[in-house]
Amino acid sequence: MSLDWLYSFDELNAYRLDTKKGKERLEAEIKNLPGLLNFVGITLPKKPRILCLMAGSCIEGIAFAQVYDADVTCVDLQERLLTKGLREAKKRKLKLRVIHGDVREPSMLVSGRFDIVTVLGQPLPHIGIFDFDQTIGGVKKLLAKNAAFLIDQSDLIFRILPQYKDAMTHNLEPPVFSIHRNLNARHGYFERLYYSRTRHDSYKTYLWAPWIIEYMLKKNGFAEVEVKPYVDPYSMAQTYLHTARSPVH
């Protein structure tokens, strides 16, 4: 199901580069990216190859390209967001390309080896555990020797569930609200129905926690798996940075 409507809501403005919040988030990412990598102990070579999965409008990818003179590839299913990111990268004359595709099989979308593969901006609520397990397996084939896999995701179980509401407002102009529809404990998601004056749709939100991601990385054979709490400098919200090194063969 397309996420285009969901990402048009006011509450997600920071993920779109054509908004004031999106531009502010990009500048914050450029400023804070070196500190983030230093915090998790990742050192990039000169002119690195970087793959950003579930990249949205490529905010993190643009930051990597600008700060590290990197050759960046951004992959996402949302073609409109990718187009916005590519437009901004061209304005800045950066080495960035976009691929509209399914991250479940990243090795089918790109070739060669990368110095770092990232999943940043906390996009995992849009993908289930079984699909992301397939993604992790594909990332193994794309990492260069001693390369890193970096995942940014907050603890959704303890962040969302304690304040979960049956009805919520997501956009004011035009008004959009949602109501709880279903909780699927087997596959780990809740589903909500979204309504506006002119349309309605349903969206799933998958629940993730640091220990789940850590287990999946170790299960897939990655080395030096670490999880560190981190405060996002833009949103000032608690998240977790998960790092792993190229699998041991």
Taking only the tens place, the pLDDT of each residue in 180-204 is 999 999 999 999 999 999 999 999 9
- Report field, pTM of the whole predicted structure over 0.85: yes
Tokens representing 207 are: 């629940």
Kindly report, residue by residue over 100-155, the tens digit of the pLDDT: 999 999 999 999 999 999 999 999 999 999 999 999 999 999 999 999 999 999 99
Judged against a pLDDT cut of 60, whether residue 32 lies above it is answered with: yes
Tokens representing 66 are: 């600008």
Three-state secondary structure of 53-66: ECCCCCHHHHHHHH
For the domain covering 6-155+208-246, report its CATH number. 3.40.50.150
CB neighbourhood size of 222 (10 A): 23
pLDDT score at 2? 74
Judged against a pLDDT cut of 90, whether residue 162 lies above it is answered with: no
Kindly report, residue by residue over 60-89, the tens digit of the pLDDT: 999 999 999 999 999 999 999 999 999 999
Judged against a pLDDT cut of 90, whether residue 90 lies above it is answered with: yes
Kindly report, residue by residue over 221-235, the tens digit of the pLDDT: 999 999 999 999 898
pLDDT band at 1 (very low <50, low <70, confident <90, very high): low
Give the whole-angstrom CA distance, residue 246 versus residue 128. 23
Between strands 114-119 and 143-152, the pairing is: parallel
Give the whole-angstrom CA distance, residue 165 versus residue 157. 14
Query: For the chain, how far is it from start to end, CA to CA, in angstroms?
Result: 37
Judged against a pLDDT cut of 90, whether residue 248 lies above it is answered with: no
Residue where the block lists tokens 């048009």: 8
Question: Interhelix angle for 129-140 vs 210-219, to 10°?
Answer: 40
Residue where the block lists tokens 């349309």: 199
CB 149 within 8 A of CB 244: yes
Give the whole-angstrom CA distance, residue 172 versus residue 158. 27
Beta-bridge partners for 242: 151, 227
Tokens representing 48 are: 């690195």
- The full set of domain ranges for the chain reads 6-155+208-246, 156-207
